[in-house]
């Protein structure tokens, strides 16, 4: 199982999360309250309102990233994968089943 962290512009975060659920790429997406990201891109300082999405899935990083890149408005979105090494077995099984166990 993986936990993907994805920053997304707040305006489209819910649609992005729903697409992941609708396509069985996530069992659950938790959207943390919007915050401000300040970063440098192409030599310019940027300030964006973003929502951090915590995506619970058994889908492989390559499969997940392919769809995320199709949907995400950024050229180079933050997609970070953390491998889950433990947890409540019933929950982990549910995540695996909801995402077709494609890990």
Give tens-digit pLDDT for 32-71: 988 999 999 999 999 999 999 999 999 999 999 999 999 9
Q: What pLDDT is attached to residue 100? A: 78
pLDDT tens-digit readout, 76-102? 999 999 999 999 999 999 999 999 765
Domain locations in the chain as residue ranges: 2-98
Query: Looking at domain 2-98, which CATH architecture does it have?
Result: 2-Layer Sandwich (3.30)
Whose tokens are 């982990």? That residue is: 92
Q: What is the pTM of this model?
A: 0.87
Q: What DSSP line would sit under 53-102, residue for residue?
A: EEEEE-S-HHHHHHHHHHH-SSSS--EEEEE-----HHHHHHHHHHTTT-
With CA atoms as reference, report the closest residue to 10 among 38, 51, 48. Answer: 51
């Amino acid at each position: 199982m993986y936990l993907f962290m994805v920053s997304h512009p707040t305006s489209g975060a819910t649609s992005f999360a729903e697409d992941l659920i609708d396509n069985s790429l996530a069992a659950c997406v938790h959207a943390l309250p919007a915050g401000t990201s300040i970063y440098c891109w192409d030599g310019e300082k940027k300030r964006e309102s973003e929502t951090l999405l915590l995506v619970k899935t058994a889908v492989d990083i390559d499969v997940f990233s392919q769809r995320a890149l199709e949907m995400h408005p950024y050229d180079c979105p933050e997609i970070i994968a953390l491998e889950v090494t433990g947890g409540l077995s019933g929950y982990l099984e549910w995540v695996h089943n909801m995402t077709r166990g494609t890990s």
